[in-house]
Amino acid sequence: MHKLLHIVASPRGDQSRTLRVAAAFLERFREIHPDWLIDELDVFDDELPRLTGRQVDGKYVLLDGRELYGELRDTWDEILQHITRFKEARAYLVSTPMWNFSIPYALKQYIDLIVQPRHLFHYVDGRSEGLLTGRRMVVVSARGGDYRPTQACHYDHVEPYLRTLFGFVGIVDIRFVRVEPLDGVPAAAAAETVEQASHTARSVAEVFLAEG
């Protein structure tokens, strides 16, 4: 059974505009692909392992082309489980608000855990190569301000960062559904923006797996 991994990076539950639009995507996706498993990972609610010096040592062991061993291997148990869960998916939905022009820290923690040599990328003749090919991703991102092509778009470090990061591991087919502007505007305007983005999200769900 194919799996879509939904990575939830807003801690605001029912209040989250990101999650409202993501729900529209998922509703349509489920209608079209009832055979797909939806696996949900909440990076705020699910206890993510910490990356202390000991765990970071493991990254350098892997970068060195060696295997994890002994106690180091044990401390990596949970990290490896997260890597496996990520790699098992054929498609991803990342639901992330903009926080301080970038992604929330819990999502960054998750990224720092899973992006590991030999698992998500490796080096060939000194050049890095992503190992997760043939996968697709949708990112839904609500933001208070407006970062559509204007001067302010340079402040958006969510889209460029996630495209660079996931591209690095081989995921290059990424669509963004941005929900903006939401704060400092009349409530009715924000509600309309969420409604329009939900419409876009449903359309993306229809073509998400169909193309290419």
Residues at the site binding ligand FMN, with contacts judged by CB under 6 A: 10, 12, 16-19, 97-101, 142-145, 182-183
CB of 65 to ligand FMN, least distance (A): 40
Closest to ligand FMN by CB, 10 or 200: 10
Q: Which has the closest alpha carbon to 5: 62, 63, 84?
A: 84
Closest to ligand FMN by CB, 19 or 91: 19
Q: How far is CA 175 from the centre of its chain?
A: 11
Contacts of 144 (CB under 8 A, 6+ apart): 98, 180, 181, 182, 183, 184
Alpha carbon distance 171, 190 (integer Å):
31
Q: Which has the closest alpha carbon to 157: 93, 96, 98, 106?
A: 98
Q: How far is CA 189 from the centre of its chain?
A: 27
CB of 168 to ligand FMN, least distance (A): 24
Contacts of 107 (CB under 8 A, 6+ apart): 7, 9, 43, 94, 96
CB of 108 to ligand FMN, least distance (A): 13
CB of 109 to ligand FMN, least distance (A): 15
Q: Is 118 exposed, middle or buried (0-12, 13-18, 19+ CB in 10 A)?
A: middle
Closest to ligand FMN by CB, 149 or 212: 149
Closest to ligand FMN by CB, 129 or 195: 195
The label of the residue with tokens 């998500």 reads: 120
Closest to ligand FMN by CB, 26 or 169: 26
CB of 89 to ligand FMN, least distance (A): 22
